[in-house]
Amino acid sequence: MGLQVPSTLAKRLRLPLSSSPYDLETTALFRGGHRRLDEPAAANAIAYLTSWAATRIKRTYLSSQYSRLAGRHGRKRAITAVSRRQLFSAYHMPRDGVDYQDLGEGHFDRLHTRRQTRYHVTRLERMGYQVTLAVPA
């Protein structure tokens, strides 16, 4: 039995006929805009909806990933990346028998601390500041 989504939900989500843009154009032009809901389209719509919801929760890994990528690559590509990360986690958690552990909002800051320090010191020096770093006691 396939994935069934009510037609009102399908209309609200504006689910595509398939992943090909040509199919979307021909469907809208030649068939009066009537779209058939198939399983991949419904699965993609659900994945995107959960990704949007996950990015709205503050102080999490997924929201920090979204905010990092949205500024450079745009909101839609950032949502695609978050959706991919969610699917990756959903595959590996049952396979490995582990629970989800959020990496936290500071995960990307902890990855390359030396590189980030060098980058910010260089930027401040270019602006005319003299920078001296000291490790807190």
Give tens-digit pLDDT for 87-123.
899 899 999 999 989 998 889 888 889 998 999 999 9
pLDDT grade for 35, boundaries at 50, 70 and 90 = low
What percent of the chain is predicted at pLDDT more than 70? 72
In a domain, 123, yes or no: no
Provide the pLDDT confidence category of residue 44 given band limits of 50, 70 and 90: confident
Average pLDDT score over residue span 41-55: 82
What is the structure's pLDDT at 25? 46
Q: Is residue 38 included in any domain, yes or no?
A: yes
Per the domain annotation, does 114 fall within a domain? no
Asked, for residue 130, whether it belongs to a domain, the answer is no
Query: Residue 49 sits in which domain range?
Result: 7-105
How many domains does the chain fold into? 1
pLDDT for the residue numbered 64: 92
Tell whether the model's pLDDT for residue 130 goes beyond 70.
yes
End-to-end Cα separation, the chain, in angstroms: 63
| Max CA pair span of the chain | 71
Q: How far is CA 97 from CA 83, 90, 111, in A?
A: 21, 11, 26
Instruction: Tell me whether residue 19 is in a domain.
Output: yes
Is residue 127 in a domain? no
Residue 137's pLDDT is what?
78
Residues sharing a CB contact under 8 Å with residue 119, sequence separation 6 or more, in sequence order: none
